[in-house]
Amino acid sequence: MKRNRTVSLCMIVKNEEKHLERCLSSVKELVDEMIIVDTGSRDNTVEIAKKFNAKIFYYDWDDNFSNARNFSIQHATKDWILLMDGDDEFNKEDYEKYTKVINDSKKDGHYFKTLSFVGNIPSNDVVSNLNLRLLRNNKKYKFIGAIHEQITCVTDKMDYKNFSTEDIRIFHYGYLNNVAIEKNKRNRNISIIEEELKANPHNPFHLFNLGNEYFAMGNKEKALKLFNSVYDNLNWNDGFASKLVIRRIMCLDELGKYGEALQAIEEGLKIYPEFTDLELIRGWIHLKNKKYTLAIDSFNKCLELGEAPSQLEFLNGCGTFRPYQALGEIYFQFEDYYKSLECFEEVLKLNPYLQNPIYKIGALLNKLYDNKRYVSYKLSQYFNLEHVSNLLLISDVLITEGLYDLAKGYLEKAKELEENNQQVNFQINRILFYQKKYTDALSGFNTLSKKSNEYKESLKYIFICGLITDTDYSEEVLNYIKNGNESFLYRVYLQLYNVFLGENKAILLEEDDHEKALKLIMKIIVEVLKAQEFELFEKLLHVLNYLESNRVLLELAAMYHNNGFKEMAVKEILRSIKELNAIDAKGVEILYKEIR
């Protein structure tokens, strides 16, 4: 569809060299000019913008997003203004919807869905918000508010009937953990909001946004206090009201205040009966409290409701794949494998990009069918086997299930399609390791490029092979890590090596992050357990004596349980309770399941 109206892209940016090219590439076909306002970049942001023939303007940052945003739109010369951030990406699947809005709209502005990735990497875990993205360039509007800026009319009273919501998606990368930390976003935002509150200390929108920042930083107690201060006098017509409701409920849930959370859900659903996200959280709370019938009822209710309207939606998939996933887990736990399989198949239909359901389906097929070739065949029906990525995934599922020869067949096909693929070679060598062909595995791992992620992942296997074969490979791994200036990782491996040698010496420092060391050590010794090298496993377990953490036995118990050693898992949990006075939700779940 051809666009018959012109568009100016308006952006304010600072130090966006890691994201800006992706952003501008995603919109270059959608706009006729690019207005880039830089507020003090010290990296290559401006140079990247110039590659797209953007018009560059400079603005002295004054801790006020509205001022900078208004400065940018003043320079727009086209019919419409598209508003983006440097760490956004326009969803290419929505280009045609966008063009239709541009051509046909009689409105002054349009809100699009912003899907913010959360966690460590972009995945299917996204938080949804509505943001003004398209504004008619009629000089009637400006932004107000130092942060989380809002639109207002400068020529007349603000009338939101002149604005509409569109099912057009913008991906936002700015709240991924590493990005938010690198940009110091949380502290920056808190500073600006607190300055706003000095002028208006009871402003509900600012208090809500301050609560969001503390929530994201993990300070749920402070966040809840701020949310409560707004909730007690909430105007349900405020645009942020539904977001406050769900954020407050999430706080109560994470703080273990389940009764208050369930009451808040009841209150929220009376005001917003189509708010599926709240029903999903209710199901999760019932599940945590082992109220399985109530949990099943809630998840089925989510499927009846479907996705919440875009004005309410917060988490994606609350009326589609998420309840099916929860139901699949419940049925799996109660060994109703056929029902569980049906649920996970629905998850995959609704969200084919999720990988976890494939692993669950693999586990279920492995339990249901004795003929493992049939398991492999059934699993293959979910994939187009002409893609290396799919062959890698199906092989990894089969490796997880211990079906190594069947996995190798898919990897050999992948090798035919792409001979020197590092991931394929890595997986082949993992299989050799699990089949106890350690010399062949060592040879294969050492052919990987030393600069590749696959080689770094293979270090634990090479290290273990060196211990088993009594060769110098373990020391070579130590030297590789040491030369890479990864001193903490080096101490973790050296501590393991010293335990193997029988040397009673603490290598890890008191100031080291022992919780992080525990997770790294568990990732190494679990591979020894999977390889069924039990003598070496028992020997390496002594490394746990050098860790200052009350979680050591709980992590060990989880490892045992995940690998089928259920009695050992129970024993370690009971030890943890007796000796370390420590128990967690996973431990409770294991005890509940295994001691009945």
Identify the CATH number of the domain in which residue 190 sits.
1.25.40.10
Of the candidates 542, 520, 563, the residue with the CA atom closest to the CA atom of residue 434: 563
For residues 528 and 496, what is the distance between their CA atoms, to the nearest angstrom? 12
301 part of a folded domain: yes
Tell me how far apart the terminal alpha carbons of the chain are, to the nearest angstrom.
63
Pair (106, 208) in one structural domain: no
Do residues 143 and 110 both lie within one domain?
Answer: yes
137: three-class secondary structure by DSSP:
coil
Q: How far is it, in rounded angstroms, from Cα 529 to Cα 341?
A: 28
Tell me the sheet residues that pair with 83: 10
Measured CA to CA, the distance from residue 79 to residue 77 in angstroms comes to 7
The answer to the question of residue 565 being in a domain is yes
> Can you give the pLDDT at residue 379?
95
Give the contacts of 402 (CB within 8 A, at least 6 positions apart): 434
Kindly state whether residues 27 and 163 are assigned to the same domain: yes
Is 486 in the same domain as 590? no
Single-letter residue type at 247: R
Last residue of a domain, one of 134, 150, 177: 177
Among candidate residues 384, 408, 386, the one with its CA nearest the CA of residue 396: 408
Q: Do 217 and 122 fall within a single domain?
A: no
Q: Is residue 63 part of a domain?
A: yes
The whole-angstrom separation of Cα 168 and Cα 95 is 8
d(CA 86, CA 17): 9
Sole residue written with tokens 């279920």: 364
Structure confidence at residue 386 (pLDDT): 94
Query: Does residue 404 lie within any of the structural domains?
Result: no
Question: 495 is in which domain, residue-wise?
Answer: 442-538
Across the chain, which has 596 residues, the per-10-residue mean pLDDT values are 94 95 97 97 96 96 95 97 97 96 96 88 81 96 92 91 95 79 79 92 94 92 96 91 96 96 98 97 95 97 96 94 97 95 96 92 97 96 93 96 96 93 96 96 94 94 95 93 93 96 93 96 96 96 95 96 94 94 90 82
> How many helices and strands (H and E) does the chain possess?
28, 10
- Count CB neighbours of 124 within 10 A: 14
Looking at the structure of the chain, the number of domains it has is 4
Domain boundary among 538, 559, 579: 538
Q: Indicate whether 16 and 160 sit together in one domain.
A: yes
Whichever domain contains 38, its CATH number is 3.90.550.10
User: Is residue 117 situated within a structural domain?
Assistant: yes
Q: Please report how the helices 321-333 and 356-368 are oriented relative to each other, as an axis angle in degrees rounded to 10.
A: 30
39 close to 61: Cβ distance less than 8 angstroms? yes
> Which residues on adjacent β-strands are paired with residue 142?
152
Name the nearest CA neighbour of 293 among 303, 283, 280, 302: 283
Would residue 320 count as lying in a domain? no
The reply to whether 241 and 272 lie within a common domain is yes
Q: Residue 369, by phi and psi: left (phi above 0), alpha (psi -120 to 50) or beta? A: beta
Rounded to the nearest 5 percent, the helix, strand and coil shares of the chain are: 60, 10, 30
Same domain, 211 and 263: yes
Instruction: Find out whether 61 and 42 touch, Cβ atoms under 8 Å.
Output: no
Reported residue count of the chain is 596
**Is there a domain that residue 287 lies in?**
yes
Q: What is the DSSP string of 325-391?
A: HHHHHHHHHTT-HHHHHHHHHHHHHH-TT-SHHHHHHHHHHHHH-S-HHHHHHHHHTTS-TTSHHHH
Same domain for 196 and 90, yes or no, is no
Look up residue 161 and give its two tokens: 């009937």
- How far apart, in whole angstroms, are the C-alpha atoms of residue 414 and residue 144? 55
Same domain, 56 and 145: yes
Is residue 149 domain-shared with residue 104, that is, in the same domain? yes
Domain match, 199 and 291 both: yes
Domain annotation covers residue 83? yes
Of 170, 314, 162, nearest to 240 by C-alpha is 314
Residues 6+ away with beta carbon under 8 Å from 177 = 119, 120
Single out the residue in 273, 306, 339 at which a domain terminates.
306
Its pTM stands at 0.86
